Amino acid sequence: MAPPTVREEVKAAFEKARDPGAPGPGPASTDLADAYLGLLKLALCDLAAPRTMSVERTPLGVASHEIRDGWLKLRSLGMDWPRYGLSMAGLSRLDDLQACVRAVVADGVPGDLIEAGAWRGGASMLMRATLDTLGDERAVWVADSFTGFREDLQTEDLAAVDFLAVSLEEVEGNFARFGLDSGVKLLPGYFEDTMAGLGERRWAICRLDGDSYEATRLCLQTLYPRLSEGGYLIVDDYYVLDECSAAVDEFRTEHGIEEPLEQVDWTCARWRRESDTPIEPARPGSAPSASPPDPRPSAVERPAYTPVPTLEELTLRRETAVLRERLDAAQAELERCRHARVARLGKWLRHRFAPR
């Protein structure tokens, strides 16, 4: 039997996706916690309303458009960029992340929680909220550049890059607005500058969303050696980014990691550490991304807020630009004709009144 195509896999995932929704409150404290976390996940994914805005690359550029009804399952699966949501993970990944947090608390797994690559902070907010419902005061670390990609990783698609870059102040505001800013450690900077400083901390959950081989490999080398037995290592883009899966597979092979890799959804994978066999942490400068090009690329300054036009607006802009080009061409032709007529008239006058 031939392996399923990407289209078939996405269709199968779409059919399995749960409808956006949250459990209602009940009299028990656990019921109230489930209701709160359910509503929080809807809010983080911008699924509390019957319609929402999605952002995507189009032939005209990066644009937003409305999704509703059955298409909300795309958001539930984390298959689009939410215009106003705080997480791209979707409900399935957030459900699993919540379950992982509850598991490490219930099993007494020691260590803090960290997300490396946070965008607007939604997944980390859920981890903090889940800990709060359990009365657990361990810290949640949020590591990100908070400036987007470095200048050496820029593409011509700057509108998309600007949309994906979220400032430290914005993420701080997101945590504060939901009352989740206590017990949160924001760690700004590129991973090659920040990960080495975390080498002595103990972890219960490491969630990696670095989107590249170098970032994934560096986080594995610096964080996994201090992941507690019973802790979870989560890779957000394992099944859709070959560079992420390559970094994970190489690391697991090199260190003889045999714990089964479990598929969370169409993109995310995780495993639970079952062995306390020591792994030597990466030394500064030994990881693939720890020696950036010389001189070191710098961050790109970005506006605090970058509006995303709708597809209709982009279409109107394109049509307006075409009409403006035609108008400019017509005006240029009129001007040419005017000059030509004046020139002919001048020639006739000179000939008519020339001295005989």
Backbone angles phi, psi at 79, to 5 degrees: -105, 10
Provide the residue ranges of all domains of the chain, joining segments of one domain with +: 6-272, 310-356
pLDDT tens per residue, range 305-321: 667 878 788 788 787 88
Structural fold of domain 6-272: Rossmann fold (3.40.50)
Residue 268 is predicted with a pLDDT of 95
Q: Is residue 75 within a helix (H) or strand (E), and if so which, with residue range? A: helix 72-76
As a whole number of angstroms, the distance between CA 88 and CA 286 comes to 32
The pLDDT of residue 314 is 77
Strands 262-263 and 112-116: unpaired
- Point out the residues of the chain with pLDDT beneath 50: 1, 3, 154-156, 284-300
What is the per-residue pLDDT for 283?
58
Q: How far apart are CA 23 and CA 49, in angstroms?
A: 16
Q: What is the pLDDT of residue 288?
A: 46
- The residues, ordered by sequence, that sit 6+ positions from 36 with a Cβ below 8 Å of its Cβ are 129, 133
Closest CA to 82 of 51, 46, 33: 46
Q: The whole model's pTM is what?
A: 0.83
- Quick: pLDDT tens for 288-305: 443 333 444 444 455 556
Omega before 355 cis (within 30°)?
A: no
